[in-house]
Amino acid sequence: MTERLTIRRPDDWHVHLRDGAMLQAVAGFTARQFARAIIMPNLTPPVTDVAAAEAYRDRILAALGEGADFTPLMTCYLTDDSDTEAIAAGHAAGVFTACKLYPAHATTNSAHGVTDILKLTRVLETLQRIGMPLLIHGEVTDRSIDIFDREAVFVERVLTPLTRDYPALKIVLEHITTAEAAAFVTEAAHPIAATITPQHLLINRNALFDGGLRPHAYCLPVLKRETHRLAVRRAAVSGSPRFFLGTDSAPHVVGAKQSGCGCAGIFNAPHALEAYLKVFEEEDALDRFEGFASEHGARFYGLPLNEGTVTLVRGAAEVPARIGEGDTAVVPFMAGETLAWRFEG
């Protein structure tokens, strides 16, 4: 039995670090495990221009303090009025790594998102030309579509024509949850990849209703049925360079989750690597863990692989029931459970 696993330092290709007190509370968990992370721009107000992204990057680095070896990779939140030239200039200047497309009202702080992808024609032509990745929250927002079907319908109605119309546009379909999304990304003759979260690999929609309503298992895209979880797991451990780690760690203060209208988001940063490793071990795919965690994402983004390594060791690790206090009290993913691996650093 493998007792220690040392891999190249990994990256998190999708994380919400928030701002203010919550940023102070959570940034260290991501920086402890990952060398770089794609920082989601859905603050209030959203990060839509270069100045806001630079200021946010500085706040992240300040929250981590001197000597932190962590690089935040900033993203631009697309709106119906996005400034194409400014985005391209921000990319050329090294501020924006990618653009994030939230369909309006698809999820937390997406009210300023895009109401119709046709409004993005100039932006998309430019991203395709300059090789800047488009990161997509892939769910339709049509209220008449069942919430469990919104990703599959997005793949059919939006993603399929998008890849046809922009054949060279680099796309990351974020936090995939369905067999349809996994199949599309696997098979498309297109520069497309997908991030996968630990929760969509480890639990299915039954976890939302396990003996009662479970707000801490609620995220968007919502957990799906078991057949989808198994399809997403197969994709993650397949070794395909199109699938890589993106936690979608999304902290909300405990009162905002345990509420009559609880927020979507699972805070998984504290034990992210250990949770992913559980999946790769169960699938007898430890040899593919490093590719998924540390290589596929960087290659897709055209960034260098990290130097240095991290080590995980076998040994019980308890996930705390709660982390932080007051306006930063959060319940982590797998709270109260025992993990079989421990992150050594």
Q: Applying CB under 6 A, does 137 fall inside the site for ligand DOR?
A: yes
Query: Which of these segments, 124-132, 208-216, 242-250, 335-343, binds Zn ion (CB under 5 A)?
Result: 242-250
Phi, psi of 172 (to 5 degrees): -115, 115
Q: By the 8 A CB rule, do 296 and 193 touch? A: yes
Closest to ligand DOR by CB, 137 vs 170, is 137
- 108 interface partner picked from ligand DOR, Zn ion, none, CB below 5 to 8 A per type: ligand DOR
Nearest-approach distance from CB 15 to ligand DOR, in angstroms: 10
DSSP one-letter code for 320: P
Q: Applying CB under 5 A, does 274 fall inside the site for Zn ion?
A: no
- 90 interface partner picked from Zn ion, ligand DOR, none, CB below 5 to 8 A per type: none
Nearest-approach distance from CB 337 to Zn ion, in angstroms: 23
Nearest-approach distance from CB 289 to ligand DOR, in angstroms: 24
Return the residue of 8, 16, 36, 278 that touches ligand DOR, per CB under 6 A. Answer: 16
- 75 interface partner picked from Zn ion, ligand DOR, none, CB below 5 to 8 A per type: none
CA 324 to CA 292: how far, in whole Å? 30
Nearest residue to Zn ion, scored by beta-carbon proximity = 248
Closest to ligand DOR by CB, 218 vs 243, is 218
Return the residue of 75, 97, 107, 328 that touches ligand DOR, per CB under 6 A. Answer: 107
Nearest-approach distance from CB 203 to ligand DOR, in angstroms: 14
Q: Applying CB under 5 A, does 248 fall inside the site for Zn ion?
A: yes
Q: Euclidean distance between the first and final Cα of the chain, in Å?
A: 21
Q: Before 45, cis peptide (omega within 30)? A: yes
Q: Which of 223, 215, 200, 219 is nearest to 275 (CA)?
A: 200
Q: Applying CB under 6 A, does 140 fall inside the site for ligand DOR?
A: no
CA 34 to CA 263: how far, in whole Å? 26
Amino acid (one-letter) located at 84 = T
> How many residues in the shown chain lie near Zn ion by CB under 5 A?
1
> Tokens 């369909």, residue?
103
Closest to ligand DOR by CB, 312 vs 323, is 323
Q: What is the 3-state secondary structure (H, E, C) of 245-298?
A: ECCCECCCCHHHHCCCCCCCCEECHHHHHHHHHHHHHHCCCHHHHHHHHHHHHH
Q: Which two tokens stand for residue 124?
A: 């998309």
Would you call 248 a catalytic residue per the annotation?
Answer: yes
Nearest-approach distance from CB 106 to ligand DOR, in angstroms: 7
Choosing from 248, 284, 287, 327, the catalytic residue is: 248
Nearest-approach distance from CB 248 to Zn ion, in angstroms: 4
Residue 147: exposed, middle, or buried by beta-carbon count in 10 A (0-12, 13-18, 19+)?
exposed
Q: Applying CB under 6 A, does 264 fall inside the site for ligand DOR?
A: yes
**Mutual angle of helices 84-92 and 50-64, in 10-degree steps:** 40
Q: By the 8 A CB rule, do 161 and 149 touch? A: no
Beta bridge partners of 147: none
CA 40 to CA 50: how far, in whole Å? 14
x/- mask, ligand DOR, residues 154-193, rule CB under 6 A, reads ----------------------------------------
Footprint of Zn ion (CB under 5 A): 248
Residues forming the active site? 248
Instruction: Give the residues lining the site for ligand DOR (CB under 6 A).
Output: 16, 42, 107-108, 137, 219-220, 250, 264-265
